[in-house]
Structure formats: structure tokens, C-alpha cells
Structure 1
Amino acid sequence: MNTISLPFRSAGIRGMLCLLACLLLWGCRSGEKLYNKGKYDDAVAAFVKKLQCRPQDATALQLLPEAYRQAQRLHDDRVNGFLRSNNQLKWEPVRNEYRAMQRLYDLIHSSPAALQVVTPKDYRDAITGAQENAAESRYDRGMALMERGDKASARKAYEEFAASLKLISNYRDAKERMEEAFQAGVIHVVVSEIDVRSPFFQFSADQFRDYLVRTLQQRSINRFVAFYDERFARNENLQPDQYIALRFQDFVVGQTFVDRLQRDVSKEIVTGTSKDTSGKIINIYTTVKATLFITKKTVVSKGLLDYQITDTNNGRLLRTDRIPGSYTWLNQFGTYRGDYRALSDEDKKMIGGQDVAPPPPQDLFIEFTRPIYDQLERDLRSYYSNIN
């Protein structure tokens, strides 16, 4: 069995006691330093902690009462300053000051030695009163905003009722008022059907619009904005607050260009080896040549989308823009005459290619509208996310 000799054990205990004494001494000095800097709340906490370890510490017993009085004085001064102000939301900072003083009360009650020299004040009733006043102020502000009768004020009222419930979870009928404010503040936005002036592309245009509406609905851009398809709004007799008109302008699908090119190529290749006069082996190079006959087929699709956001209540134009989009399909193939070894890897790929048909027009329409869709979605998300 391993044992520790008594001298070494005693030395270890003395070292731990020495370290503990140093920490306690540091804690006391730390409390004094905080007190001298006017950080009275922190000083109270430091002195209480010291007394929990050393109930007879003279410095802590002497300075704790004064630190508590100074802390209480500072918080009372702030409370009085808030109460004298005309700020409707003054009760929330008042509550915070009372809470800070209650924390000091709880701290002092955690140490019997601290209670011997300080009789802290209990602020629980003051906190409850301030909280009730704060909830009432928020509620009254919400009611006043609702009386204005406009959507922007209703959205602000929603936040006021929510703040009231955060202060007191079941305050009066704030939950019902909050839901009422939400419904009054929602902006109903209808996205128009798209007229492309071509029945051939109408289905693709409808897909474009349907996907846009679904994305806007699912992204939760703004809780106060609801998006609807025009057909749904018409069937439900929904009266929109805003209308997004979409229209493709000047679009071309499948514009085909065919270019036939002839290009001469050459390359030096190693065809053998020989020895020079010193006997060193050297490569023998030969230039090989070929002529490429290339067919380049390009199919271009492009167009513009105009969109406008209108306030349906007054006809005011809120936002308008034009977004371009394009897609180019390319196919190259060819033949050659001459030495195959003269061709590069890219040349060989073209020689291996063949004349293939471009995608169908509906697919080309979708491809050129893809960048338009991305830009339009970004624009609408940016615009509606900033509505308060």
C-alpha cells in the first residue's frame, strides 16, 4: 500500500490554506476596489461572497452597509428620474431598477453575517406594481394605435399588445387584441396572371407565376404580408391591398444562327530519335497538318419582364422595374481533312460530335426566364421584408 509521509501531507495542507487565504484577501481587496470605483452593486456582491467564507471579516462588515446604501441611493435616483419623465414606457426601466435592488436583497439574505449589518429592502411588491403599470402602458398604446384605423398603425399595435403580454402573460384581453391587430395589419398582395401574347408559351408562363407565388408564400418573408394567386383571389372575392402586375415584353424563343468555319491546325510531333555527334539521343520532330470544317449552331432565347406593384386603395405605383433574361444553347460539330495527330483534344471532341436538335421551345422559354425569376424573387423579398 502506498502511503504519504506526514511532513509532505502537512506541507500540502499548509500550501492549500495559504492559497485560500490569498484568494480571500484578494476578494476583500476586490470589493474595496469596486466600492472606491463607485460600482456599488458589484461591491455588495463581493463583500457578501467574502462574508459567506469569512463571516468575521472586518473590512467586509464595515464597508458592506455603506456599499448597499450607495447602491440603493443610485437606483432610487434613477427611478425618480424615470418617474418624472413624460416617457410612456418609463415603467419598464423602473421595473429594471427595482429588479436590480431585489437582486441585492436576495444576495444579502444568502449570508447570515451580511444580515447582521444590513437590513435590505424587499422590492417584490414594487416590481409587481411597475410591471402592471408597464403592461398597462403598452396596452393603452396599442389601443390608441388601433383607433387610427390604418394598417401601419395596426402592425405597431400588434407589437404593443405582444409587449404587454410579455410583461404579464394573461394581461386583460391583450391576446384577443393582438390577434385583432394582426388581422387588421396584414397586407394582402395578389400576383397577376401573365399574358405572354402567345398561347404556345402560356403554360410555361403560368408555371413561372405559380412557382413564384408558392415560393413567396413559403418563405415567410414578412408575417404581415400574405401573397395570393390572382385566380384564387378572384374565386374567393378577396380584395387585395396591393397588386403585382407581371408581363413579358419583347421575348424571342429559339432564334437560330448557323456558322460554318474552316480552320487550319498544325502540331510538331516526335516521329523518331537519333544520336548526335557526341552520342546523345535526340528527338526527331515532324510537323503534321489538318484542316477543320466546323459547324456552329447557336439558339438564342431572351426577353424582358416588366413588373409593377400598385396600391389598390389609391392607385399609387409603389415599385416598378424591368428585368432582362437570356439563354444560349450551343452545339458544335465538324469533320477534318489531313493528319488526325494535328488535332487538339477540343478539336477531337468536335469531330466526335454530331448535329442534334435544340431543346423544345417550352424548355427554352423556361431557361431564359430562370435568371428573371431569381432576380424578381430577390426584389420582392427585399421590398416586402422591409415593411414594418
Structure 2
Amino acid sequence: MNTYLRYLPIFLAVILFSCKSGEKLFNKGRYGDAVEAFVKKLQRRPSDATSLQLLPQAYAAAMEFHEGRAKQAIASNNDLKWEAVRNEYNSMQRLYNVIRSSPAASVIVKPKDYSTALASALNNAAEARYERAVQLLEMGDKQSAREAYDEFTASLQLSANYKNAAQLRDQAYQMGLIHVVISEIAISSSYFQFTADQFRDAVVRQLEQRRINNFVKFYDERYVRNQKDFQPDQYLEMRFNDFVVGQTYVDRYQREVSKVISVPSNQKDSTGKVINVDITVKATLFITRKTLASSGFLDYRITDVTNNKLLRQDRLPGSYTWQNQFGTFRGDERALSNEDKRLIGGRDVPPPPPQDLFAELTRPIYDRLASDLQSFYSRY
């Protein structure tokens, strides 16, 4: 009982707010929302006087608003007017369903069923999109085919399985495709050809996986070269130029280090405790630093196969530096820092093989190329 009394004020506040919300919505001219608010109130309290009084007025006003907009749309010359009509009929059908959900509301309001009119509007809207799509498809160019694809898609969204829209949409998609062949990568040294092929394979996979543009497809030249019926639209050619792999530099130098440390002395204080004194310890580091520098450029260009027109070209730089340091020391080890000790603990290790160095220098090139191609084809 105490729990009920504790929550009673909240319950009453919710009811009062619901009622006032319906009235506020009605007074603001939001008649459709007001209808829903009044119906919800009647579902809880079928005898609520305010809802019983204002619900018929709110419904009549909402119907007048939506029917007026529907008639206005029907009278227009807009090719897509039936989509606007569909929206209005849908709003009115929603009010029908809301009122029918409440016995108390159904007694005082006899809502109009717009299901038949809504189905007819949807069919007309789908037909309008279908007709636009067919006209675009008959134009025969790629851009029109892409627009036709969108129109067929819209038609099917309005009415699933409408006529042969699905079949024609597939046809429009094929007509709108841009087929881009990615060339084998030319490189002056056959020693790095395998790594260059791996680079190209990664580019092809990345472009296929990203699906940059729904109407652009990428192909590996090796797999389409012997397909007689295949006709590419564009050709992406790549070539590595001016590359140097593993240019070696060896630097040997020495460095003096020192540190002030505290050590026990031979003296004691009055309590017998040994007195510490500061001394400076020194050492000489003998360091060998090996550096292998690799660098190069990837030149690429995209051409239109039909007219040999250059669409885009660029030169992308890449570099990679491998370095190893090791050393010895002479003197007092206590003078060495932790970093010095790590350096002394190092050893002369062999550098990576040239193929690995070449792969590393192509990483920044790959990232830049993928970004360039995504930017180019995303708005193509």
C-alpha cells in the first residue's frame, strides 16, 4: 500500500501531462500528433472528457490538411507527384489504424480507410519511376544508364517486383559500368619483379574490397588479356622508376661520456657512519652505425581506351631507411647511461634482403596510390 501511495503522484502527473500534451498539440495545429495523443489517453481512460471532445475535431482538421495536400499534388505537373500523394495517403492511413486501435475512439470517430488509395498511389509512383528509367536507358550512354539504374531501384522500392524493373535495372547496371584494367607493373630490374607483382596484387585487392564506386570495376590485366569479348574502358598503367635499393653508408665515431657518482670514502663522521664523496667517472664509446637507404618513384597514368585521352597521371615517391648501431667502450662502465648500455649490447646484424627493402619503400607509395585512386573514382 505504501509503495502504491508513493508512486501515485507520478502516475497522476503522467495522465495530466498526456492530456495537456494532446491539447497543446491541437492548439499548435499539429492535428495528426494530437489525434495520437488523444487516442493513447482514451486507451487508458475511455471516458476522458477532453479527449472525447477534441479527438473528432483533431481528426477532421488532420484529414482536411492531408487531403488538401494530396489533391494539390495530383493537380501538379510533377513527374513524381504520386510519391507526394503516397506520403499524404500514408499519413491518413496511419490515423485510421491509430483510431481503430481504440474502441472508445472508434465510437466517436469513423476514420476513412485509405489502403486501396494508398496501393493505387504506390503503383502510380512506381510506374512514374519506371517510365523515367526506360527513357534514360534508351539514351544508350553510361551516365544515362547509371541514372536509369537509380530510377529502377526507386521503382522497386515503391512496388517490389514491379513489371520487369529488376531485369532492366541489371541491364542498366552493366551498361553504366566503367571497366578499369590495371596493368602489370613495368620495372627495370627483373630481380624485383616478384615484389612489384605483389604490390600490384595488393592494389587490385584493395580497390575491389573498398568498392569505391558502384559503377567502377577493376581487373588484373593478366586475367583479362585473353578474353576476346572483354572491352575495357580505362587502362591504369604503373611503372617503378629511379629506384635505389640498399645504398649503404657506414659511419664510425667515438663519444666521450662522464657521470658524477657518489662513492664511500675512507672517512667516517662522529657517529661512525662512512662518509660518501662525489667523483667523476669517464668512458669512451666507439660506435658503428650502418645505414641502408632505399628510395624510388611510382609513375602511374589512367587513359581512356576509346580515345587514348589521358585522364590522370602522377609520380609518387617512396623511401625506407634501415639502420643498425652497435659499439664498444673503454673506461669506467659506471659512466654509461642505460641507452649507452643498450648500444654496447648491440651487435652487427645483417641487413634485410633487397626484396624486403624494396617492399618497405613501396609501402608509402601504396598508401598514397590507394588514396589517389579512391579520390579519383569516388566522384567519377
TM-score by length of 2: 0.91
Match of 2:367 in 1: 374
Q: Does 1:82 align with 2:97?
A: no
Distance between the aligned counterparts of 2:290 and 2:216, measured in 1?
47
Name the CA shift for 1:207/1:279 in 2 (closer, same or farther; >3 Å): same
Q: Greater CA deviation, 130-139 or 326-335?
A: 326-335
Distance between the aligned counterparts of 1:57 and 1:330, measured in 2?
84
| 1:177 Cα offset (Å) | 0.5
Q: Greater CA deviation, 365-374 or 11-20?
A: 11-20
Letter in 2 for 1:340: E
Cα deviation 1:114-149 (Å, max 9, x = unaligned): 333322211111101110011001111111111221
Extract structure 1 runs of 4+ deviating beyond 4 A. 11-26, 276-281
Letter in 1 for 2:199: F
Q: Greater CA deviation, 375-384 or 253-262?
A: 375-384
Match of 2:312 in 1: 319
Distance between the aligned counterparts of 2:19 and 2:324, measured in 1?
83
Q: Does 1:116 align with 2:107?
A: yes
Letter in 2 for 1:368: L
Distance between the aligned counterparts of 2:279 and 2:103, measured in 1?
103
Match of 1:335 in 2: 328
Match of 1:307 in 2: 300
**In structure 2, the residue corresponding to 1:235 is in which secondary structure?**
coil
| 1:359 Cα offset (Å) | 1.4
Indicate if the aligned counterparts of 1:253 and 1:301 stay in contact, CA closer than 8 A. yes
Cα deviation 1:238-276 (Å, max 9, x = unaligned): 321111111112111111111111222222233324445
Letter in 2 for 1:245: E
Q: Does 1:150 align with 2:150?
A: no
Q: Does 1:244 align with 2:227?
A: no
Equivalent in 185, 191, 194 of residue 200 of structure 1: 191
Match of 2:249 in 1: 257
Distance between the aligned counterparts of 1:335 and 1:235, measured in 2?
62
Q: Does 1:31 align with 2:22?
A: yes
Distance between the aligned counterparts of 2:344 and 2:53, measured in 1?
98
Match of 1:232 in 2: 223
Letter in 1 for 2:286: F
Indicate if the aligned counterparts of 1:275 and 1:281 stay in contact, CA closer than 8 A. yes
| 1:161 Cα offset (Å) | 0.9
Match of 1:99 in 2: 90
Give the superposed CA RMSD: 2.5
| 1:227 Cα offset (Å) | 1.0
Q: Greater CA deviation, 153-162 or 263-272?
A: 263-272
In the TM superposition, 1:35-46 aligns within 5 A as 35-46=26-37
Name the CA shift for 1:260/1:42 in 2 (closer, same or farther; >3 Å): same
Distance between the aligned counterparts of 1:363 and 1:221, measured in 2?
30
Letter in 2 for 1:42: D
Q: Greater CA deviation, 340-349 or 324-333?
A: 340-349
Indicate if the aligned counterparts of 2:252 and 2:288 stay in contact, CA closer than 8 A. yes
**Structure 2: which 5+ residue stretches go unaligned?**
none
Cα deviation 1:319-355 (Å, max 9, x = unaligned): 2222111111112222322223222222233333333
Give identity over the alignment, percent.
61
Distance between the aligned counterparts of 1:211 and 1:27, measured in 2?
61
Name the CA shift for 1:149/1:272 in 2 (closer, same or farther; >3 Å): same
Distance between the aligned counterparts of 1:351 and 1:27, measured in 2?
79
| 1:305 Cα offset (Å) | 1.0
Q: Does 1:210 align with 2:201?
A: yes
Indicate if the aligned counterparts of 2:253 and 2:287 stay in contact, CA closer than 8 A. yes
Indicate if the aligned counterparts of 2:281 and 2:335 stay in contact, CA closer than 8 A. yes
Match of 1:129 in 2: 120
Q: Does 1:66 align with 2:57?
A: yes
Indicate if the aligned counterparts of 1:233 and 1:239 stay in contact, CA closer than 8 A. no
State how many pairs are aligned. 378
Q: Greater CA deviation, 264-273 or 159-168?
A: 264-273
